[in-house]
Structure 1
Amino acid sequence: MQRVVEEVELRVKQSLPRPVPLPSGIGSSSASPGIWYGLDPKKKKGVSGAIEKAFNIGAREKLDGEIARMFYTCGLSFHFARNPHYVNAFKSAYTNPISGYLPPGYNSLRTTLLQKEKANIERLLNPIKDSWVLKGVSVCSDGWSDSQQRPLINILAVCEIGPMFLKAVNCEGEVKDKHFIASLLIDSIREISPQNVVRVITDNVVNCKAAGLLVEAKFPHIF
């Protein structure tokens, strides 16, 4: 059996092409160089150098590594890579290079930039709000639990153009009786303006039905 194994190993070695070390700058470190099989090292060096220069492979790999570490060290969801704003940010940086530019820091993200984006969202929502006066709006509410198992009640305003999220209230430690739910609905109706609200839609559990009666008593025109 040992003789058969040695014969097979010899045939395998004879059938392999002569190994040639990789040109410098490609593959792993000099301590454990990569291998090109059956290729002229001089020709390979020229081809690989041209490809690396044309596609800037080294810089691409370095940038990919930094982006990957951003995901790993902050525990970001891999779905974030599908966010169009994430992709557009890098496209913009590539097509419009700004000398000395640094990405926004901690303070600007939580203050000035947040305020600007809030104003931008309000501007985008204005067409929906304007339609409330003409078409009327339904206030929709439902309870659910987030990833941390906190009990939340969300409020949405739905009209012909589409739904608009108003708020989600953390009800942790609260008794979700008819008075508590009715107060949330009444506050939302006042935020929208009572004359724009046509109806309120909730779950059909007992406390929500009782809250609906309190809302109708407060605003007789709302169903």
Structure 2
Amino acid sequence: MAGKGSRTDPAWQYGVEKQVPAEGAMKGYKYLMCKFCEKIITRGVHRLKAHLAGTHKNTSPCPLVPPVVKEEMKQFLKDFESSKFRYQRNFEEAINGGAYFVGSGGVNGSVGANAPEHGNCCPSVQRGVRGPMDRFVNTPGDDEEGPTSGGKMTPTTVREQRNKVCLDIGRFFYENGIPFNVANSPSFVSMLRSVGNYGRGLKPPTMYELRNWILQEEVKTTNATVDEIKATWKTTRVSLLSDGWSDMRNKSLINFLVNNQHGTVFLKTVDASDCIKNAQKLFELLDGVIEEIGEDVVIQVVTDNASAYKAAGTLLMEKRKSLYWTPCATHCIDPMLEKIGDLTQQKNALIKAKKG
């Protein structure tokens, strides 16, 4: 929820912040309470406005709201929807016109005295003075036929067309701060292949589609993939992997993953701050996860080689005779390499290498 310094939304004056204390593993939350009917609103100030306006959208209407406030909230919601669709329309017009940036002036905004006119194509779009890369990217006048137009393409033309596409992709990476290694992702390659198969005129998904039906479909696909892997567990047996790490608040967290030859499935993350150095509690934690998966399914438990984990692994093998504990090879090799790096003859070489 927004901090007090940023609460400029007019609906804040009709709500009271309510703190819900943390309970067990659940963290605390801040909710809003309607000043008129004292209903708790759990999804922020936008839902409070819907409650006060009586839209019946995601919340029940307030029975005690004054008519003046109700009409005020209705108008705010109407203006919000209008601005949302106006922004989307301007965005699509800018893309259709070959522009990359939309000015902050809205539909009738001005972006500078030297900005050329574009008729109905979003006057707030600034053309020609965006940056040094503009000489290389496509402009509204550059509507040359692409490789799929049916004409015979020379090697030079193919190279030029590909360069234009690569520059657009590069700008997308740079503007949004996307790591370059994302280009190695199979899903990135698959996305470009699908766009190419569709051809010209593809309307890209909006942010609302990305966070609604597209996300829901991807969740279904992921769940189906996980279920397929889980169906093989009883046949192949599995290894339970424990991966410890610390978050920004120095909480000791453990990721539990299940692995077999068909793939690795993330099971859950557990806050183990109170038991990370306690062998008995680690044993109880690992034993509970094995019970959740199934003792007849788990044949190996892999953790790091800290003394507490080693003792917990021994307790596991004593209780469950069908599995064995294995220290993580990486955790074994890392301390060895650190010790080697501390040797005088190696340390000087490492220092020089880091400086070079």
Which residue is 1:196 aligned to?
297
Which residue is 2:265 aligned to?
165
* CA 1:102–1:155: 2 relative to 1, 3 Å: same
d(CA) in 2 for partners of 1:183 and 1:112?
40
Aligned length: 172
Query: Which amino acid in 2 is paired with 1:154?
Result: N
d(CA) in 2 for partners of 1:127 and 1:208?
31
d(CA) in 1 for partners of 2:251 and 2:269?
10
Equivalent residue in structure 1 for 2:233, among 123, 127, 132 = 132
Spell out the pairing of 1:52-201 with structure 2 (5 A cutoff).
55=158, 57=160, 61=164, 63-97=165-199, 99=201, 101-105=203-207, 107-144=208-245, 151-159=252-260, 161-167=261-267, 169=269, 171=271, 174-176=274-276, 177-201=278-302
TM-score (norm 2): 0.38
Task: Give the 3-state SS of the residue equivalent to 1:68 in structure 2.
Answer: helix
d(CA) in 2 for partners of 1:88 and 1:148?
37
Spell out the pairing of 1:202-217 with structure 2 (5 A cutoff).
202-212=303-313, 215=316
Deviation at 1:173, TM superposition (A): 5.2
* CA 1:114–1:220: 2 relative to 1, 3 Å: farther
Which residue is 1:43 aligned to?
none
Structure 1 residues without counterparts, runs of 5 or longer: 1-49
d(CA) in 2 for partners of 1:200 and 1:219?
11
Deviations 1:46-74 (A, max 9, x none): xxxx97x955947953x444322221122
RMSD: 4.1
Mark the structure with the bigger radius of gyration.
1
d(CA) in 2 for partners of 1:219 and 1:128?
24
* CA 1:130–1:101: 2 relative to 1, 3 Å: same
Query: Which amino acid in 2 is paired with 1:164?
Result: T
Spell out the pairing of 1:12-51 with structure 2 (5 A cutoff).
none
Which residue is 2:32 aligned to?
none
Deviation at 1:202, TM superposition (A): 2.2
- When structure 1 is superposed on structure 2, of 138-147 and 93-102 the one drifting more is 138-147
Query: Which amino acid in 2 is paired with 1:169?
Result: T
Deviation at 1:109, TM superposition (A): 3.1
Query: Which amino acid in 2 is paired with 1:153?
Result: I
Task: Give the 3-state SS of the residue equivalent to 2:231 in structure 1.
Answer: helix
TM-score (norm 1): 0.56
Task: Give the 3-state SS of the residue equivalent to 2:304 in structure 1.
Answer: coil
More helix, by proportion: 1
d(CA) in 2 for partners of 1:138 and 1:122?
20
Task: Give the 3-state SS of the residue equivalent to 1:76 in structure 2.
Answer: coil
d(CA) in 2 for partners of 1:58 and 1:142?
46
Deviation at 1:76, TM superposition (A): 1.0
* Identity value in percent: 28
d(CA) in 1 for partners of 2:263 and 2:201?
42
Deviation at 1:111, TM superposition (A): 4.3
Query: Which amino acid in 2 is paired with 1:156?
Result: L
Contact persistence 1:152–1:168 (CA under 8 A): no
Structure 2 residues without counterparts, runs of 5 or longer: 1-152, 325-356
Deviation at 1:147, TM superposition (A): 9.9
Deviations 1:97-154 (A, max 9, x none): 374522342x443443333223323333444322321332221223246899875423
